[in-house]
Amino acid sequence: MKVRALFVLLLLVCAMALPLSARTVYLETIEVTGQIGLQENFRVDLRQAEPIVLDKSFAGQDMEIATYEFYSNNSDTVYNLKITPATLGGSRSEKFMFTYVGGSETDLKKKESMIPFTIKLMSIGDENPILGVPNDKEISKNIGMLDGSNYRETGSIIITFPTEASGFKFEELASGYYRAALTIEVSAD
């Protein structure tokens, strides 16, 4: 029995001595990295399937001309949506308006007809749209609502036609086609 106890004690001492005598041959801390790429997306969907019928019934009315969707996974950047008047040829117009582009009218004064309008930008779920002022040169707003670490926003671009009470007279316009153009820009600060 004494031999057995001595043998067990010897095994325990040997088992404890092995970890104390172990040598480290190699030791290094390594770093593993990963990256999520920057994703920024802005999309505009035009709502117009055919030309707008411009007449007195549109006086003072709002019309949604487009919707937009914005997404960014960069929560450290502030984004701005800006809309300015433009012509389809690329040069800039001074104000938001429809201009006469053709028809059967022969009266030169009526051929110079213009229909001014204002712009509203409204986020879906936003009860207070950002409004344009008649003849503004631009309308802009910060875009994107923080959702976790991402910015998201869905909204509408709305035009408002003038009223006769504001001095605008639809009956003085030439018959024919009218065109308006807008430049839409999203920038990051």
How many CB atoms sit inside 10 A of residue 81's CB?
23
**DSSP character for 104?**
S
Is 153's pLDDT higher than 80?
yes
Residue 19 lies in a domain: no
Residue 82 lies in a domain: yes
In a domain, 3, yes or no: no
- Residue whose pair of structure tokens reads 């605008």 in the numeric block: 168
Helix (H, G, I), strand (E, B) or coil at 130: strand
Within a domain: 20: no
- Could you give the 3-state DSSP secondary structure of residue 9? helix
How far is residue 8's CA from residue 2's CA, in Å, rounded to a whole number?
Answer: 10
34 in a structural domain: no
Domain at 121, CATH number: 2.60.40
Phi, psi of 145 (to 5 degrees): -105, 130
**What is the domain range of residue 96?**
40-188
pLDDT in tens, 28-84: 999 999 988 999 999 999 887 677 888 888 888 888 999 999 999 998 999 999 999
Q: What is the 3-state secondary structure (H, E, C) of 9-25?
A: HHHHHHHHHHHHHCCCC
Question: What residue type is 19 in one-letter code?
Answer: P
Residue range 87-127, pLDDT digits in tens? 765 555 678 888 888 766 566 666 678 888 889 888 887 67
- Distance from C-alpha of 163 to C-alpha of 169, rounded to nearest angstrom: 8
Question: Which token pair is 24?
Answer: 């480290």
Nearest to 120 by CA among 135, 136, 139: 139
According to DSSP, the β-strands at 181-188 and 40-46 are unpaired
Is residue 171 one of the residues assigned to a domain? yes
In this structure, what token pair is assigned to residue 25?
């041959």
Q: Residue 71: which of 145, 127, 140 has the closest Cα?
A: 145
DSSP class of residue 165 equals G
Q: What is the amino acid identity at position 68?
A: Y
If one counts the domains in the chain, the total is 1
| Of the candidate ranges 23-27, 47-51, 82-86, 156-160, the one whose mean pLDDT is the lowest | 47-51
